[in-house]
Structure 1
């Protein structure tokens, strides 16, 4: 009886260890996916949020070129 209980206890312990390993692998995969998605968003953000500024004089163009929010500056006639 004692030996049967001990064997059952060890089997349950092994099953719990395997389950813990599975949970750790799932968490690791989730963290990797979150990191990859974050990296993709950081790369795409400047492309999506690109602001095009227009200028009509040298002074205005200089200001726009020095403005960090303007990713592209176009000179217009008016």
Structure 2
């Protein structure tokens, strides 16, 4: 009886160790996925947050080109001097 209980205890302990290993692997996978997603978002953020400005005169275009928030400046109409 004692030996049977000891064997059962050891088997339960091994099962718990295996379960703990599975949980640790799942946690590692989740952490890796979160890190990859964060890296992708950090890389794409400047692209998504790009501000496109339009200008329609020389003076307006000069202001927009000097504006740090404008990442791209488009001339919206033909200007000729």
Please classify the TM superposition score into its range, dividing by the shorter chain length: 0.7 to 0.9
Q: CA RMSD in A?
A: 2.1
Q: TM-score, normalised by structure 2?
A: 0.75
Q: How many pairs does the alignment contain?
A: 78
Q: 1:23-48 deviations in whole A, cap 9, x for unaligned?
A: 01001101111111111122222222
Q: TM-score, normalised by structure 1?
A: 0.77
Q: Which stretch of structure 1 is more off in the superposition, 54-63 or 41-50?
A: 54-63
Q: Which stretch of structure 1 is more off in the superposition, 33-42 or 53-62?
A: 53-62
**Where do 5+ consecutive residues of structure 1 fail to align?**
none
**Where do 5+ consecutive residues of structure 2 fail to align?**
none
